[in-house]
Structure 1
């Protein structure tokens, strides 16, 4: 089958892809059920299950995972003796943040300036649509030549590990020769990219107490220990003067020998304000992909609006630490907890709690799946060679699958290129990227079937 036939078929499927993505984005499937209704995630899971049934998948099941969320599984048998490919995406999304800051409503897919806007459009509901579109294109040209398992997670963004625990309890369920994770992205639009490394992460809550209750800052300020000031000192201790992450005992990471990232490109991608410097030192790719990075995700303290003249008795923060391949996330968590406690001033009472963790991932690029993907991307992107990049984020399931199936190749592709602004206001997806990656996935599955 000539590759241009698959490309033509994918082009005809794009209106359907847009319609389905519109339906998916409409679900407010944030797996934080303290803020968003559980029913929204359950409806999204049912939509996925119905889509798999409609595509002829067998053994379709909505799995209740140990963290209280749902993942959706289906099996599409291929020819006898064909390899098995596990396709992954997730239907849960990040909260929309300030909905009023969105140009258009976050849960309504809206086309603007050649892109489709909406929460989850790229991360990762668009990844599910990419998988479905690739399979439909193959079915239009004689059928899918491999056995496909499709798993769509419901709590990836929360990092609560439900699917990981379920997979460990049912190790035969997701067994495959190759795993294709649809939750990464090209280095930039139009540049075909596989992601070879992911940083691991640990998420820690730190709470500091100094007083039985708040005090008048005029009457007691200057001697009474302020919990918020103590917390600020602790958080500041996590960075050197140039912004480099500094956790006592944590190694600085390693060199990066893949794609380079120019500072001008990064400033534009990250929307850094004019005159504001970047943090850290050394090559940007290393800072982003092969070194640790700490981020303060939130602080519990009174907002400016309505603040009173008080010395604060209590303050808390949520701290994320990303660690590169080669650094054990469990050990990094111990070092972070010890650092927070050691740097708490004035004898203040400090409590720390781990609330999430995932190990780093480093792919082996030497197998037949990577060879097939390089060929598929070259065809889908009209002669452009596949690039290898890292990713600063974490997908803990990758390590779970690598541990369960050590012989399986794991590839990461997806729609989360820099312009997508995932996790931010005005997340979007490039329909051209969705189309080309659907073609690439279809070509990959076709070519990988003849790997021997």
Structure 2
């Protein structure tokens, strides 16, 4: 074990510099103008895998962005760990809210500020560097495969086909994912599940063209007003979602699970201060941690229409648009929820507008049993380097491909994230603590050791 630590200590500045180089590539999968950047980033990931010790690494073309695959098979008799991550990142907008360039990484107060620093370049790169550490020390206890995709932030539209068509290539004993968070370095935790997702876009049309708001205002329905009213009606006064059937399949958390969640450190004053809010908001009868873990939600992600440019333009718009997402909990089905949401919007749409709605992407919720071999190995690894057992928690985010991984490959997933909920994922000034990055590299080799021993 000392060989691992010595090698990491000797090369930690290089490990950090190599991550910063990767963060400089603007691999935004949602925008066509970054197609070449996506290819460049995939090639960089491939090169890093080979440099770290993979016996082979290659790019697999898809109708979208490339998938990077790498492997090192030291002994077919050893267990195999499949590491999943993604090299694509969210768009950096709004740019004016960044303190530094989103693709010009800056280290300030021990934190790396850059788009993708935590989600997910910094986190999957921990595994690449952990491989290098183990390989250099001559202490590889498992076979390791890497599946690093470039479309997670747009719903992984091509990964399902790749997994279905490459089951033999991806055959493994466990899937290890670091695309989640922990409470803190002082209070380590492990996600035992992630929520599912249904993401739709809505278009509302009123008159056949933009109108003069003085000539027609008060006589013709304004699509923005109508859409806003429709969206506001989706929650009642207790912030409960009113779509009929929405909660029918929800598996309620047991009192024991809610008691366990309550043991996680939580300071509401600190929570509100960090976000700059006066009060928390959410479904009545549940704590903040429960609302973001064990309960489904419906959120408006964006709404637009009419004139939004500089100055004034007194217009009654022809159209209004919105993006709406639902986070789902165990036993909810994303296809069912999508149908319920769209059909409900059509039902409540008044006759003076026309409504169109379509699915962008979705995915199913996923739970990891805490008595699984993989979870136990990860928990023991964290206890070894942190000096305390991790608290099992439910993650609020979504990794849509998880359910398909288990369905197609027949193996369990372990979430071993080292980011923090406060790392501004999907927001301006995304960050990742350098200490967390190094802690991940230190801890991951122990997972491989304990998983092999198990």
* TM-score, length-scaled by structure 2: 0.93
**1:398 equivalenced with 2:402 (yes/no):** yes
1:325-404 mapped onto 2 (5 Å cutoff): 325-381=330-386, 383-404=387-408
Instruction: Check if 1:424 corresponds to 2:423.
Output: no
Alignment of 1:60 with 2:57, yes or no, is yes
**What does 1:144-163 correspond to in 2, within 5 Å?**
144-163=140-159
Cα contact 1:73–1:150 (8 A) shared by 2: yes
Q: Unaligned regions of 5+ residues in structure 2, if any?
A: none
Which 4+ runs in 1 deviate beyond 6 A? none
8 Å CA contact 2:227–2:320 kept in 1: the answer is yes
Q: Does the 8 Å contact 1:248/1:336 carry over to 2?
A: no
The answer as to whether partners of 1:197 and 1:391 remain within 8 angstroms in 2 is yes
**Distance in structure 2 (CA, Å) of the matches to 1:170 and 1:79:** 21
| Change beyond 3 A, Cα 1:269–1:58 | farther
Aligned pair in 2 of structure 1 residues 377, 269: CA closer, same or farther (>3 Å)? farther
Which residue of the other structure, out of 414, 418, 440, is the alignment partner of 1:437?
A: 440
- Residues of 1 paired with 2:350 and 2:10: CA distance? 63
Distance 2:136 2:320 in 1: 59
* Aligned pair partner of 2:4 in 3, 6, 31: 6
Tell me the residue number matched to 1:165. Answer: 161
The one of 49, 56, 59 equivalent to 2:46 is 49
Which residue of 2 is the match for residue 27 of structure 1? 25
What is the CA–CA distance in structure 2 between the aligned matches of 1:444 and 1:147, rounded to whole Å?
A: 13
Instruction: Write the distance in 1 (CA, Å) between the matches of 2:416 and 2:200.
Output: 29
SS in 1 for 2:267: helix
- Say which is worse superposed, 158-167 or 249-258, in terms of deviation: 249-258
Distance 2:214 2:234 in 1: 31
Listed as ranges, the gaps of 5+ residues in structure 1 are none
Structure 1 residue 186 and structure 2 residue 188: aligned?
no
Counterpart for residue 35 of structure 2: 38
**Paired position in structure 1 for 2:93:** 97
User: Which position in structure 2 is the counterpart of 1:18?
Assistant: 16
C-alpha root-mean-square deviation of aligned residues, in Å? 2.0
Q: Find out whether 1:259 has 2:256 as its counterpart.
A: no
Paired position in structure 1 for 2:451: 448
Cα shift readout 1:137-183 (whole Å, capped 9, x = no counterpart): 21232231111101111011111422222112222222210110111
Provide the residue aligned with 2:319 in structure 1. 314
User: Which piece of structure 1 moves more, 96-105 or 226-235?
Assistant: 96-105
CA separation of 1:178 and 1:64: change in aligned 2, threshold 3 A = same
Counterpart in the other structure of 2:296 = 292
